[in-house]
């Protein structure tokens, strides 16, 4: 349509110029109107999805493609009943569910769940993100919200579906507390428009629309969004546990030649804290490493290297100086020695090959998922973290900036001891306790553990030195070699 109008206009201008009429004012007016349309009105026009290009309803993703979220999926399925059985719901006089909020850390499968919900209900699916609504031009965010709902309705009717699911990722950007943005009112207007559109959803209107929002900061959302009748169903999407991680590994390794499926059990056990996205990336990296080596299948060592890569980043070509490499050898040997002494069996490997921002690192063996800690365990972790700097000090009489992230970790753990009532302060309320008191307690915990760590390392100084010298020569040690040396 726009193209036709432009063609006709151009033809008209050429014709008028040909018959001798002055066309300068017409050209000026055309440029002015065109500019206004492009720079102002055009700003709000985004296609939220390629409407109508795929006539297939749903997204091709089903709940079977999601691992480790069984209870979240069950809750979501219950919420979707109203789309699947609209007549029964209407008969009972139940008001339609308008919004479901998926709350959880990044990469846990919130987008997958929204897509699977569309397949499950046979709904048209449109996805967007809160950041797409925030515009420097006043009124454009609100316009985009209107357009989003229109696009969803159009897509549903093109696909002959009675329902549409709108997925809004990063909902906190669009739906943050009103009045909290001091720059301009644009955010508030956009949110108001979303509320208006949500209120406009009813049983009578076809297609029925369900909004699925995703956020990892539910505390930032405006209370109007969370009140009954809007996003009143909250589904927690959590980091997967060991069984969940095993299932996710199965899903993503399903099309890959893994040497032995028991490797996946082991990897699931050693990836506590990994999200689904991490695990997907892990299987992919392992396959890439196997391909690089022209291996026929993916082995345990490929997976181990992939874990390091996902946690720390690519191996780096940067070459630290010989003096730095020696220091790193002592640093990592300190970590490993204390780790094995505090928790026997905990060291899996250590290396001084730089990777990501680390010049070396020690990898722990697979542990069972753990959610509760006693003070001794947290202290043990603090000692392991402090041991790198302590080993450097024993060898050189000083330590380097390489220990900065270890200290950060120590501080976090010491704070955890204090805040959870495990310190000598007893039960404290963080907000009511003076900062100096908390600071002093953390300092004391870290100070005494620093002393203890150094004492233990001094007792085992011979082991520390022989370990450091071996790793300096061999660059990496696996557990067997490490035990042999000890
Ligand atoms: P974000 O909050 O950052 O948007 P998200 O929670 O929406 O993240 P997804 O986009 O759904 O996460 O996940 C990213 C990718 O990670 C998926 O495409 C999938 O490959 C993998 N993934 C994440 N969670 C799971 C899971 N539970 N099961 C299987 N794969 C998963």
Do the beta carbons of residue 114 and residue 170 sit within 8 Å?
no
pLDDT of residue 201 exceeding 70: yes
CA of 112 from ligand 1 middle (Å) equals 6
pLDDT in tens, 260-269: 889 999 899 8
Tell if the pTM clears 0.85, that is, is over it: no
pLDDT in tens, 399-425: 999 899 999 999 999 999 999 999 999
* Token couple for 486: 């000890």
Gap between the Cα atoms of 418 and 404, Å rounded: 21
71: number of CA atoms within 13 Å, CB side?
A: 8
Best residue among 59, 65, 108 to mutate for probing ligand 1, ranked by most atoms within 8 Å of CB = 108
Phi-psi region of 139 (alpha: psi -120 to 50; beta: other; left: phi over 0): left
Q: Identify the burial level of 153 via C-beta atoms within 10 angstroms of its C-beta, where 0-12 means exposed, 13-18 middle and 19 or more buried.
A: middle
Best residue among 109, 129, 216 to mutate for probing ligand 1, ranked by most atoms within 8 Å of CB = 109
Residues near ligand 1 with C-beta < 6 Å?
Answer: 66-69, 106-112, 169, 214, 248, 251, 276-277, 280
DSSP 94: P
CA of 110 from ligand 1 middle (Å) equals 6
pLDDT at 102: 94
Atom of ligand 1 nearest to the CA of 65: 29
Mark 61-79 as b/e (b = at least 16 C-beta within 10 Å): bebebbbbbeebbebbeeb
* Token couple for 320: 């630290």
Question: For the residues 247-270, what does the mean pLDDT come to?
Answer: 91
Neighbours of 385 (CB within 10 A): 25
pLDDT at 159: 85
pLDDT in tens, 319-342: 788 899 999 999 999 999 999 999
Atom of ligand 1 nearest to the CA of 105: 2
CA of 67 from ligand 1 middle (Å) equals 10
DSSP 401: G
CA of 449 from ligand 1 middle (Å) equals 39
* Token couple for 480: 């067997």
pLDDT in tens, 418-446: 999 999 999 988 788 888 999 999 999 99
Segment holding 214, helix H or strand E: strand 208-215
Gap between the Cα atoms of 213 and 127, Å rounded: 10
The residue nearest atom 29 of ligand 1, judged by CA position, is 66
pLDDT of residue 35 exceeding 70: no
Percent of the chain whose predicted confidence (pLDDT) is above 90: 43
Best residue among 276, 281, 284 to mutate for probing ligand 1, ranked by most atoms within 8 Å of CB = 276
Neighbours of 481 (CB within 10 A): 15
Gap between the Cα atoms of 426 and 256, Å rounded: 52
pLDDT of residue 14 exceeding 70: yes
């Amino acid at each position: 349509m726009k193209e036709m109008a432009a063609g006709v206009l151009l033809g008209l201008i050429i014709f008028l110029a040909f018959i001798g009429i002055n066309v300068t004012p017409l050209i000026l007016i055309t440029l002015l109107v065109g500019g206004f349309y492009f720079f102002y009105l055009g700003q709000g026009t985004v296609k939220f999805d390629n409407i109508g290009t795929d006539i297939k309803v749903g997204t091709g993703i089903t709940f079977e493609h999601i691992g480790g979220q069984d209870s979240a999926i069950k809750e979501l399925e219950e919420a979707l009943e109203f789309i699947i059985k609209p007549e029964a719901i209407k008969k009972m006089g139940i008001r339609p569910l308008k919004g479901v909020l998926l709350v959880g850390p990044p990469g846990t499968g919130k987008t997958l769940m929204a897509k699977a919900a569309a397949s499950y209900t046979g709904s048209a699916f449109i996805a967007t993100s809160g950041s797409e609504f925030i515009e420097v031009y006043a009124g454009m965010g609100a316009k985009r919200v209107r357009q989003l709902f229109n696009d969803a309705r159009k897509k549903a009717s093109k696909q002959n579906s009675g329902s549409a699911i709108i997925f809004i990722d990063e909902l906190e950007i669009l739906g943050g507390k009103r009045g909290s943005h001091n720059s301009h009112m644009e955010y508030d207007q956009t949110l108001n428009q979303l509320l208006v559109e949500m209120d406009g959803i009813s049983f009578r209107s076809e297609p029925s629309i369900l909004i699925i929002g995703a956020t990892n900061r539910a505390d930032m959302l405006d209370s109007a969004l969370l009140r009954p009748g809007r996003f009143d169903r909250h589904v927690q999407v959590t980091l997967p546990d060991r069984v969940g991680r095993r299932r996710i590994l199965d899903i993503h390794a399903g099309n890959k030649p893994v040497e032995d499926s028991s490797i996946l059990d082991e990897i699931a056990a050693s990836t506590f804290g990994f999200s689904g996205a991490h695990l997907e990336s892990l299987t992919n990296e392992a396959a890439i490493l196997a391909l690089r080596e022209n291996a026929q299948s993916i082995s345990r060592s490929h997976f181990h290297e992939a874990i390091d890569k996902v946690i720390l980043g690519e191996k780096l070509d940067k070459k630290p100086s010989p003096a730095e490499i020696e220091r790193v050898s002592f640093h990592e040997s300190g970590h490993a020695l204390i780790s094995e002494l505090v928790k026997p069996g905990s060291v899996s490997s250590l290396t001084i090959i730089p990777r990501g921002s680390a010049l070396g690192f020690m990898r722990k063996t697979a542990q069972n998922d753990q959610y509760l800690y006693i003070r001794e365990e947290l202290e043990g972790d603090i000692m392991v973290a402090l041991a790198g700097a302590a080993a450097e000090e024993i060898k050189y009489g000083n330590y380097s900036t390489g220990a900065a992230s270890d200290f950060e970790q120590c501080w976090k753990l010491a704070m955890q001891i204090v805040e959870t009532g495990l310190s000598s302060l007893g039960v404290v309320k963080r907000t009511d306790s003076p900062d100096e008191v908390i600071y002093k307690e953390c300092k004391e915990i870290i100070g005494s553990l620093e002393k203890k760590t150094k004492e233990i390392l001094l007792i085992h100084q011979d082991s520390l030195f022989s370990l450091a010298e071996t790793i300096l020569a061999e660059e990496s040690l696996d557990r067997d070699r490490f035990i042999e040396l000890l």
